[in-house]
Amino acid sequence: MRCLQTVGPLAVTNDIELEPTDDLAEGQSYNAVRLIRELAGHDVVICTHGDVVAEILVTLADEDRVDLGPNPRQAKGSVWALEGRDGSFTSARYFPPVVVEPV
Amino acid sequence: MSGPGSPEPSGTRTDDLLGLLVQAMDKTSQGVVVCNQEGKVVLRNAPARGLMNARDGDLLAEKAVEAALGRSLAGSYHEETLDLYSPARHTLEIRSFPLGDGTPPPGAVALVDDVSELRRLEAVRKDFVANLSHELKTPLGALSLLAETLDGEEDPEVVTRLTSRLGTEARRFSQIVDDLLDLSRIEAGATGTLAPVALSAVIAEAVEGFAEPAQARDIRLDVLLVDHDLYVMANRHDLVSAVANLVDNAIKYSEPGAVVHIGAGQREGRACLWVSDEGIGIPKRDQERIFERFYRVDRARSRWTGGTGLGLAIVRHVAAYHGGDVRVESTEGEGSTFTICLPVADQDQTRG
């Protein structure tokens, strides 16, 4: 639910359909990694829970030797951009959460 | 015998001394080639003849040495590394110097070293450091990411799961460090005193801790001791750890309902211990490499099972320092058998 709320505005702005999946639910790390590998090379925005993000990143760092940098982070609302193709990944870049100042 | 620094032993003629020097140079491991002022090779010691006996790549080495001598006859020091791929891949380091003080010099010398083994060891070391950094960074990265996720999390279920994952990654890190220390101790030769140990006792101790995890996965441990009085000279702790490592792997790579066989007996005059599983097996191409440090057949599976990638390297080193070896026979889809074979202890040794 929280994930749908997070990416909902982005989907509306870009006229993209949202696809909920149980593979990205909390505690579904194994399925999440499998899904991410299937999507390697496609332009996709994925939103999931912190523990799943951590598991995906660590798996890619370990199995694909993706460099997460010296002190990997994942603050709430942050984004990791992953690049890859054919089921494996080559790079990962961290974008901290954007702080919107009230007008 | 003359003392050090004597220009010439009394009673030894210059020709005799020259002969002795040439013989001495033949005993060094370094190739030495000397040419006169005209560039004609006047001396080539035995290692130099071995390195350049005019076959395939050796001919290239000879040409390179001649060129180096030519440069040094012109008065300069020269150094180069030559990678040769035939008849076997090897690397030579060539250094040449002008001899004497004259201009032009009265001759030049080239020193040739076969640095192939040195280069191989350097590559192994660099590879190990790169692998080690990666292996340590992975659980540390996980700890960092999970800790940040935990920060501010209010859902107790998620907190429990994240805490459990933090514990797993911390244990993984600790296990890698422990295995590295073990490997380093064994490689450094700090293996302690060897004492007579019955293989039946080694197996009993190694299997003891696995009854519960095996039962939890519905895997039966079947111990078969062919010979109860089979002794080896061993560091009991290391040998038990090695066998336990093999049993642990066998359980992890077996499906529920399978049987893991553990046994000991004499084979071809040696004392052998074996651990056999009915698991997924190891592809042929990986079988030679599984004893290398940090080599994993399936990284994903290794992550889920909590392996450090060092267990089999430790087993190999333990077997080796006991004067034995470890072998694997495996068929994909049918299972694997790891066998450690060591020299049987003499009866005198077992009596203490």
Give me the residue from B145, B153, B304 closest to A58, CB to CB: B145
Whether B274 has a pLDDT exceeding 50, the answer reads yes
Contact A53 B149 (CB under 8 A): yes
Q: Which residue's entry shows tokens 């194994």?
A: A30
ipTM of this complex prediction, to 2 decimal places: 0.81
* Gap from A101 CA to chain B (nearest CA, Å): 22
Taking only the tens place, the pLDDT of each residue in B24-72 is 999 999 999 999 999 999 999 999 988 876 555 567 888 899 999 999 9
Query: Tell me, what's the pLDDT at B9?
Result: 55
Query: Tell me, what's the pLDDT at B28?
Result: 92
Predicted TM-score of the model (pTM): 0.72
Say whether residue B162 is in contact with chain A using an 8 A CB cutoff.
Answer: yes
Confidence of residue B346 (pLDDT cuts 50, 70, 90): confident
Partners of residue A75 in chain B, C-beta under 8 Å: 148
* Gap from A102 CA to chain B (nearest CA, Å): 23
Whether A94 has a pLDDT exceeding 60, the answer reads yes
Partners of residue B153 in chain A, C-beta under 8 Å: 50
Query: Tell me, what's the pLDDT at B35?
Result: 95
Query: Tell me, what's the pLDDT at B5?
Result: 45
Partners of residue B134 in chain A, C-beta under 8 Å: 62, 65
Partners of residue A96 in chain B, C-beta under 8 Å: none
Which of A2, A26, A51 is the best substitution to test chain B (most B C-beta atoms within 10 A)? A51
Partners of residue A2 in chain B, C-beta under 8 Å: none
Say whether residue A34 is in contact with chain B using an 8 A CB cutoff.
Answer: no
CA distances from B124 to B84, B136, B186 (A): 19, 18, 18
- Between B207 and B348, the higher pLDDT residue: B207
Say whether residue A77 is in contact with chain B using an 8 A CB cutoff.
Answer: no
CA distances from B149 to B136, B142, B144, B189 (A): 20, 10, 9, 44
Query: Tell me, what's the pLDDT at A35?
Result: 94
Give me the residue from A30, A59, A74 closest to B148, CB to CB: A74
Peptide bond into B9 cis (omega under 30): no
- Parse chain A into domains and list their residue ranges: 2-95
Confidence of residue B1 (pLDDT cuts 50, 70, 90): very low
Is B64 buried (19+), middle (13-18) or exposed (0-12) by CB count in 10 A?
buried
Which of A3, A52, A62, A66 is the best substitution to test chain B (most B C-beta atoms within 10 A)? A62
Say whether residue B147 is in contact with chain A using an 8 A CB cutoff.
Answer: no
Those residues with Cβ within 8 angstroms of residue B142's Cβ, 6 or more apart along the chain or in another chain? A54, A58, B165, B169
Confidence of residue B3 (pLDDT cuts 50, 70, 90): very low
Structure tokens at B173: 């890190």
What whole-number distance in Å separates Cα of residue B309 and Cα of residue B179? Answer: 9
Mean pLDDT of A7-24: 91
Q: Which residue's entry shows tokens 């290794």?
A: B302
Confidence of residue B2 (pLDDT cuts 50, 70, 90): very low
Contact A61 B137 (CB under 8 A): yes
Query: Tell me, what's the pLDDT at B153?
Result: 83
Average pLDDT, chain B: 88
Mean pLDDT of B193-219: 91
Query: Tell me, what's the pLDDT at B53?
Result: 67
The identity of residue B230, as a single letter, is: L
Mean pLDDT of B118-141: 88
* Gap from A103 CA to chain B (nearest CA, Å): 27
The proportion of chain B whose per-residue pLDDT surpasses 90, expressed as a percent, equals 55
Mean pLDDT of A27-41: 89
Contact B303 A62 (CB under 8 A): yes
Whether B4 has a pLDDT exceeding 60, the answer reads no
Give me the residue from B137, B153, B303 closest to A59, CB to CB: B303
- Between B106 and B225, the higher pLDDT residue: B106
Q: How far apart are the first and last CA of chain B?
A: 49
- All domains in chain B, ordered by first residue: 14-114 (3.30.450.20), 118-190 (1.10.287.130), 192-352 (3.30.565.10)
Contacts 24+ apart (CB under 8 A), B46-54: B47/B112, B48/B112, B51/B92, B51/B112, B51/B114, B52/B112
Taking only the tens place, the pLDDT of each residue in B287-342 is 988 998 888 887 777 777 777 889 999 999 999 999 999 999 999 989 999 999 99
Whether A103 has a pLDDT exceeding 70, the answer reads no
